[in-house]
Amino acid sequence: MLRKACFLFAPCSPGLGCSCPKDFRILAYALKPFSTMSQFSRLSDDEILKKIQSIIPPLTYEQHKGQSGRIGIIGGSEEYTGAPYFAAISALKLGADLAHVFCSRSAAPVFKSYSPELIVHPFLSDDDASDQMKEWIPRLHAVVIGPGLGRNPKIFKTVLSIMEELKKQEKPLVIDADGLFMITNNLEAVKEYKNVILTPNQVEFERLCHAVGCDTNSDIDEKQLTLSVSKLLGGLVIARKHRHDIITDGVDVLEVKANGSPRRCGGQGDLLSGAAAVFFHWSLKTSFGQKSREVSGSHPGVLGGYAACLLSKLCAESAFGKYGRSTTTTDLINEIHFIFQKHFEKHTQKL
Amino acid sequence: MLRKACFLFAPCSPGLGCSCPKDFRILAYALKPFSTMSQFSRLSDDEILKKIQSIIPPLTYEQHKGQSGRIGIIGGSEEYTGAPYFAAISALKLGADLAHVFCSRSAAPVFKSYSPELIVHPFLSDDDASDQMKEWIPRLHAVVIGPGLGRNPKIFKTVLSIMEELKKQEKPLVIDADGLFMITNNLEAVKEYKNVILTPNQVEFERLCHAVGCDTNSDIDEKQLTLSVSKLLGGLVIARKHRHDIITDGVDVLEVKANGSPRRCGGQGDLLSGAAAVFFHWSLKTSFGQKSREVSGSHPGVLGGYAACLLSKLCAESAFGKYGRSTTTTDLINEIHFIFQKHFEKHTQKL
């Protein structure tokens, strides 16, 4: 019985193969009774949607360019140019005002040619990339790290150094794709940094589990496993792509129940990461987001991650309904406006 | 009472923090009684629209390529390629026959890939750029300076030198974005040159105010402040992007009352600058435009600037109605034809 209780409520538990000491588990449980441990988890899907609606900035005529979000995407290599484009254009279509892509020199002309809406900085492969980046960091509201980044060790070194500066300035980060590969081998780069959402797919999540010492082969509840990994990383947010996406900060655990699409074409995760950066920024901007986790009882990244996963699933479902097996990520991105208007925009904000 | 009169009618006034001597203010007031000071300002919105319609060149089957406008755009750098594209394609969609983009060598292949409609000259970063430009200046009807120009001092030096030649040939200029940053630090490059429209947004306008010695913190009327800045620059046209755009040549002050859109995505100002170049050229081509300011009583740039601001606001409003928060500048540009037909084209000109 005690074992079951630990399994249900403790930050990690025996049987998960986690390595934190028993005393810590008991202490954590004692300090966080169930009622305060699950602010979001106790809400209905409709109530969560209302919370999401409350963080969406109203569109007023008094706003200036940039106020709805200046999003940075760090990614793009010689091989991969589609991923950061999808993340950047998704951020714009969701309502961000500006999207900056920071990529390798060889990838830049290609990005630019995809769309004149993007601002592309081609210095990521330069020797002084971290220095060049310092000029831009203060202007960014949130940053996605990883889409199409590739696995060049020199680029990883640069990006890890840029991450140090981003963390110093407390920028909200979303880490996906090769960015996850990078941090799986450099866990200290994210550990204990609260302003981060990881968006792993199944393979990336398993890699993360192994890195933190969790056993993925046990016959355990996927939500609890995800929660445990988050907890072992110091309570950062994991928005795990799954049959029903799982979002947790090691305290709350939410599940996105929308169906999504059976189509598994590449690029869908990039829509999600771009959207997560925008929602995370919006969430942090509100009074709810500006309160500390202890005061508000909820992590703004959980709401941001949940909103992005829900948007992504609904876009996928809608696009699949139209294009079936032919659906590609561009079709999903074309659904953003329609899905946002239908499910996310408060009616009073419709103009 | 005297103070109030100065505030209303003089080119600048006490309380605005302007630095021109009191005697000059009084003299200006004495020379320009109210009745001749505000030719456009006394017209209704409908009357202004009729004036705009009167400058639009009729589309006849006898015209040759180029007669409706050969527009130059000086801009485009390594980071920014979208902005000059938006300006150039907007000029074409509004009815100009040819759009030439003069950009840095690294930006050229990207522009070309956006659209086969543009003519792209990649010599702006060359050492002899001003010399190469001399060949093209006589062929251009109006030139936009600044979209995506970047802030490279070498490029600024080149562009300032090109501006000298443009002014010698009395070409109408529209200065926006980084071009405004450039001239804010080189006011003599535009001071007293009448054939220029500056199109600042809020931040750029504040920078301009400080450069001419006006205090933006005073609790004063925005129209009067804009008028004062124009006057201090010798009566050039300012088309200031605002909740309701303000257009002035230091004498007339017009306000565009169209709603526009609450969406503040990047690139909207580039549509405006491209359109301003075309309208300014059309305005100057008419008999009204060819008369001097003293004879016609109105600055052709005020009409050009007003028309561009109105078009831009109406396109934004229409696109926002369709795409809401997902609206990007490409959506606005797609509205140009529809908005122009509906509001600007004289019915008799319909073919």
- Inter-chain contacts counted by CB atoms under 8 A, chains A and B: 93
Interface of A with B in 245-264 (CB under 8 A): none
Query: Cβ–Cβ contacts within 10 Å for residue A23, how many?
Result: 8
Is A95–B326 a contact, with Cβ atoms under 8 angstroms apart?
yes
- pLDDT, residue B347, reads 60
Position A259, amino acid? N
pLDDT of B129 > 60? The answer is yes
Residue A113 Cα, gap to closest chain B Cα (Å):
5
* Confidence at A38, pLDDT banded by 50, 70, 90: low
pLDDT tens digits, B30-77: 334 333 445 777 888 999 999 999 999 988 888 788 888 999 999 999
> Could A340 and B323 be called an inter-chain contact, meaning their C-beta atoms sit closer than 8 Å?
no
Percentage, residues of chain B above pLDDT 90: 70
- Give chain A's mean pLDDT: 86
Tokens of B25: 């203010």
Q: What's the burial of A213, exposed, middle or buried (CB within 10 Å: 0-12/13-18/19+)?
A: middle
Q: Which residues in B103-160 belong to E strands, given as ranges?
A: 119-121, 142-145
Measured between CB atoms, which of A63, A112, A337 is closest to B324? Answer: A337
Highest mean pLDDT among A77-86, A194-203, B14-23: A194-203
Whether A277 and A91 have beta carbons less than 8 Å apart is answered as yes
How many other C-beta atoms can be found within 10 angstroms of the C-beta atom of residue A320?
Answer: 20
Closest-CA residue to B277 (of B182, B198, B343):
B198
- Of B85, B86, B328, which has the smallest distance from its Cβ to A92's Cβ? B328
Residue in A60, A65, A122 nearest the CB of B266: A65
In the block, residue with structure tokens 């305005």: B283
**With an 8 Å Cβ cutoff, is B151 touching chain A?**
no
Q: Which residues contact B96 (CB under 8 A, 6 or more apart)?
A: B68, B69, B70, B71, B277, B278, B281
Read off the pLDDT band of A41 (50, 70, 90). confident
State whether B203 and A98 contact (CB < 8 Å): no
Q: Is the CB of residue B115 less than 8 Å away from at least one CB of chain A?
A: no
Q: What's the pLDDT at A215?
A: 81
Q: Which of B81, B262, B264 sits opposite A351 (nearest CB)?
A: B262
Q: Chain A: give the shortest CA distance to residue B322, in Å.
A: 9
The interface predicted TM-score (ipTM) is 0.82
DSSP, res B219:
-
Substitution target from B176, B265, B317, B322 for chain A, most A beta carbons within 10 A: B265
Q: Would you state the pLDDT for residue B15? A: 41
Pick the range with the lowest mean pLDDT from A62-76, A195-209, A308-322, B332-346. Answer: A62-76
Q: What is the pLDDT of residue A124?
A: 97
For position A67, what pLDDT does the model report?
84
Tell me which chain A residues have a C-beta less than 8 angstroms from the C-beta of B330.
115-117
A130 neighbors A161 (Cβ within 8 angstroms):
yes
- C-alpha R_g of chain B: 19
Asked if A64 is an interface residue toward chain B (Cβ–Cβ < 8 A), one would say: yes
Position B28 pLDDT exceeds 70: no
pLDDT at res. A288: 66
> Measured between beta carbons, which residues in chain A are less than 8 angstroms from residue B323?
337
Residue of B nearest to A58 (CA): B262
pLDDT above 90 coverage of chain A, percent:
72
Percent of chain A residues topping a pLDDT of 70:
85
Least confident of A191-195, A214-218, B313-317: A214-218
What does the pLDDT average to over A233-260? 95
Q: What is the pTM of this model?
A: 0.85
| Structure confidence at residue B346 (pLDDT) | 79
Q: Give backbone dihedrals phi and psi of A173, rounded to 5 degrees, phi first.
A: -120, 145
Q: Each residue of B248-277: pLDDT tens digit?
A: 999 999 999 999 999 989 999 999 999 999
**What are the pLDDT digits (tens) for B86-98?**
999 999 999 999 9
| Inter-chain residue contact B324 with A336, CB threshold 8 Å | no
Does pLDDT of A334 surpass 70?
Answer: yes
Write the residue in B263, B264, B267 that is nearest to A117 by C-beta: B267
> What integer pLDDT is reported at residue B296 of this predicted model?
61
A60 close to B (CB below 8 A): yes
Distance between CA atoms of residues B318 and B311, nearest Å: 11
Residue A21 has pLDDT above 50, yes or no: no
In angstroms, the Cα distances linking A220 to A12, A120, A241, B101, B209 are 12, 44, 17, 62, 65
What is the residue type of A45? Answer: D
Is A241's Cβ below 8 Å from some Cβ in B?
Answer: no
Return the DSSP state at A57: P
Q: How far is B221 from chain A (nearest CA, A)?
A: 17
Amino acid at residue number A90: S
Residue type present at position A248: T
DSSP-assigned beta bridge partners for residue A98: A70
B155: which 2 tokens? 């490029």
Of the candidates B95, B162, B97, B92, the one whose C-alpha atom is nearest the C-alpha of residue B126 is B162
Average pLDDT of chain B to the nearest whole number = 86
Substitution target from A52, A112, A124 for chain B, most B beta carbons within 10 A: A112
Each residue of B206-235: pLDDT tens digit? 999 999 998 877 778 999 999 999 999 999
- For every residue of A282-345, DSSP letters joined together read HHHHSHHHHS-HHHHSS-HHHHHHHHHHHHHHHHHHHHHHHHGGG--HHHHHHHHHHHIIIIIS
Mean pLDDT of B175-179: 98
Q: What angle do CA A64, A69, A72 make, to 5 degrees?
A: 130
Chain A interface includes B78 (CB < 8 A)? yes
B245 contacts on A by Cβ (under 8 Å): none
Give residue B57's pLDDT: 92
Report which listed range, A11-20, A94-103, B15-24, B339-348, is most confident.
A94-103
Task: Please tell me the distance from the alpha carbon of residue A145 to that of residue A122, in angstroms, as a whole number.
Answer: 15
User: Does residue A25 have a pLDDT over 80?
Assistant: no
Q: Is B286 on the interface with A (CB under 8 A)?
A: no
Q: Mean of the pLDDT values across residues A2-30?
A: 37
Please determine, for residue A177, whether its predicted confidence score (pLDDT) is greater than 90. Answer: yes
